[in-house]
Structure 1
Amino acid sequence: MLDIGFNQIGDVGAQHLGNALQQNTTLITLNLQNNQIATSGAKHLADGLGHNKTLTTINLAQNSIKASGAKHLADGLKHNSTLTILNLDNNNIGDFGAQYLGDALRDNKALTSLKLSINEIGDDGAKHLGDALRHNTTLTTLNLSTNQIEADGAAHLGKALQHNTALTTLNLDSNQIGDIGARHFANALRHNTTLTTISLESNDIEDDAAQYLADALQHNTTLTTLKLGSNGIGEVTAQHLADALRQNTTLTTLSLYNERIGNVGAQHLADALRHNTTLTTLNVGSNEIGDAGTQYLADALWHNSTLTTINLASNEIKAVGAQYLADALRHNSTLTTLELYRNEIGAAGARYLGDALQHSSTLTTLSLENNEIEEETMNKINELVKRNERKRKL
């Protein structure tokens, strides 16, 4: 591995490295993140990739290769048969750059991971990448987060997923696909049999469309991770997701962080957790759940035997809610991680949790920052958690 990130090597340095890659037969990983590499530097590196037979990973994030540099790298990919991971995050490649890379993906048979976040890619770029996914049979991970993809781009990607049989992970966080775009992905999930992770956080998805995604889970048998945080999801979608969790037997991670499901939505999810036997991670932090919603989830923990991680941070949970959770911890034997930071648990709530930890040996991570808990009490709780961690390692 050669790691020379954050070194301002520029195009001249990239030229030397490109020349070296044409001859080198041992280097596997090259990190060139944040090095002021522009179009000409990308061309030299692409020329090297066209001849190199050993490099499998190159990180060019946070440079300035733009669309013209992406074209050079795309040309290199058409001739390279060993590179499997390419990171071009934050390079301002735009729609044209995405088009060039999409064209390369039609022919390339080696690349498995492509990162293109923060690149000003819009619907046109998404269309070209979607077209490529219809033909590509090797790419398994595509990151398009923090771009400018809207409903039309989502339509192209969604339709591609109905035909693609290789992609397992798709990240579209922080775009603007909206309700219409979410419906396209819901349709895709009904037909796709390879995708295991999809992240659609911060995409202006409201309850009406999120319901379609939830309903798709009743038909999909491969998805293991669904992330929908920071959209406009409320208790209605929580109910649909709960209904899906009663039927679905593959989903292991569900993130609804920073939504507004409230105590009613928490009740729906809690009811599902009594029956679901596959979900291991649930993130409902920052959801206005309060003590009432916490009681529902705590009651579910008495019966659930698969959940290992639950995030309840920033939910206005007070001492009463902490008591409900403490009672559950005395009986639950599978939960290992409980996130409760930024609540209002206070000294009394902390004592409830501390007493429960005296009898529970499974919890190995308990986050209680910003809860107005005295240092002495916090130290005692941390020691009990560390005791559990030591026992777990034995």
Structure 2
Amino acid sequence: MLPSLSQLQRLQFWQAGLSDRMVISLMNTISLCSNLRVVALEGNPLPEQSYHHLLSEESIIAHLSLRNNRIGDESARLIGSALSTTRSSNKSLLSLNLAFNSIGDAGAAHIAQGLRLNCALLFLSLSNNQIGDPGAAQLAAILGDFALTHEEVVERRKLLLERTQSSSLKVDSDQTSADQLPSAPSSTSLSSKGTSKKKETSKKDEKPAANRENPKSNKKSSDAKTSQSKGGKAGGKEKQQTPQEDQSSIALTEQEESVEIGNPLLDQSLRHRDGQIFLPGNTTLTSLNLAGNRITEKSLPQFLTLLEMQSEGGGLLRLCLERNCFPPECESYVKIKELIELRNVPEKNSSEVTQEEGRGHSAERTDI
């Protein structure tokens, strides 16, 4: 029934008793719903933890809520791998709600691993889980500068090699096309030479004038040819750029180029330090909710340093650390709140998140 609902945009299952087979079948059906972007599967614990299928690379879901599903560390590992690996990355998911689950420090580390090379996710909620200082440290570390692993360095070299090979192939194709172009203008140049010879033989007295006029005409014709050739190249570029708006119609080489541009491993801001390659960190994520966990005052300086590093460009606009294991009057926490307030977070977004967490509280109470 779902593919026939062409205008369907939001799908919500609350305590619907879904099974793993149903979720996998649902994922295959969602791909046929062109306008469906918001999916909420809440209160549906799955024995085989198949939630990660909803975050596959082919998924079209932009907003996914998996609250109150008893998601543990193993399911968090699968979700983290779905967010990104060295060879694949989810490029459609903008917000992920994992609140009111059973994610601990190991699960938070897996989620942080998935954020290393993910350039799409904007909002992440891990509130009301079991994350302590080790898991919080992993999340904070991935949002700042971090060193590439050996596997990531190898993958980066492969991508660079593929890019150089594709560019060399393009240069060769441009050269062959350029060699074929002068065949038509050559006849016109021969005819112009023949007419110029006739003029020279018929009008010997006007050689100086002819010599003065011919260079100009030759320059104009050459300029016209070069302008035409430039125009042809520019037109070719426009043909390569316009299909990028529709990913289903672009060629394979153009798809590789678009992936390379968005791949953090090819980021030009990579830095070499102490024999390692460092990435500037995940600056795409703008909202991180860690409220209601087991984070102590020990982790706050790391988040404070992170916000100070990100203040110049990109990064978190909202960091929620309420209801953790530290006093609200803690000095580091007060500074964190001041830095967040300086970034002018819209009141609408904060109110929506507080309402969402309020609904989560009521849901948790009903389950208890």
Match of 2:287 among 322, 328, 337: 337
Contact 2:73 2:107 in 1 (8 A): yes
Alpha-carbon separation, structure 1, partners of 2:29 and 2:81: 20
| Structure showing the higher helix proportion among its residues | 2
Map of 1:254 onto structure 2: 64
1:190 deviates by 4.0
1:384 deviates by 1.7
Which amino acid is 1:299 matched to?
Q
Which amino acid is 1:291 matched to?
D
Map of 2:322 onto structure 1: 369
Q: Deviations over 1:22-76 (max 9, x none)?
A: xxxxxxxxxxxxxxxxxxxxxxxxxxxxxxxxxxxxxxxxxxxxxxxxxxxxxxx
Alpha-carbon separation, structure 1, partners of 2:107 and 2:73: 4
Map of 1:358 onto structure 2: 308
Match of 1:215 among 25, 28, 36: 28
Map of 1:347 onto structure 2: 297
Alpha-carbon separation, structure 1, partners of 2:343 and 2:326: 21
1:294 and 2:108 matched:
yes
1:324 and 2:138 matched:
yes
1:276 and 2:90 matched:
yes
Task: Say which SS state the counterpart of residue 302 (structure 2) adopts.
Answer: helix
Alpha-carbon separation, structure 2, partners of 1:310 and 1:390: 16
Task: Say which SS state the counterpart of residue 198 (structure 1) adopts.
Answer: strand
Which amino acid is 1:365 matched to?
R
The answer for unaligned runs of 5 or more in structure 1 is 1-187
Alpha-carbon separation, structure 1, partners of 2:48 and 2:294: 23
Alpha-carbon separation, structure 1, partners of 2:295 and 2:36: 35
Alpha-carbon separation, structure 1, partners of 2:47 and 2:334: 37
Identity %: 31
- Written as runs of structure 1 = structure 2, the 5 A alignment for 1:1-394 is 188-233=1-46, 235-242=48-55, 245-248=56-59, 250-274=60-84, 275-330=89-144, 331-361=281-311, 362-374=315-327, 375=329, 376-389=331-344
Contact 2:52 2:82 in 1 (8 A): no
Contact 2:80 2:110 in 1 (8 A): yes
Which amino acid is 2:26 matched to?
L
Contact 1:234 1:262 in 2 (8 A): no
1:222 deviates by 2.2
Alpha-carbon separation, structure 2, partners of 1:231 and 1:388: 37
1:223 deviates by 1.0
Alpha-carbon separation, structure 1, partners of 2:23 and 2:47: 10
Q: Between Structure 1 and Structure 2, whose CA radius of gyration is higher?
A: 2
Contact 1:350 1:373 in 2 (8 A): no
Which amino acid is 2:79 matched to?
L
1:191 deviates by 4.2
Q: RMSD over aligned Cα, in angstroms?
A: 2.0
1:216 deviates by 2.1
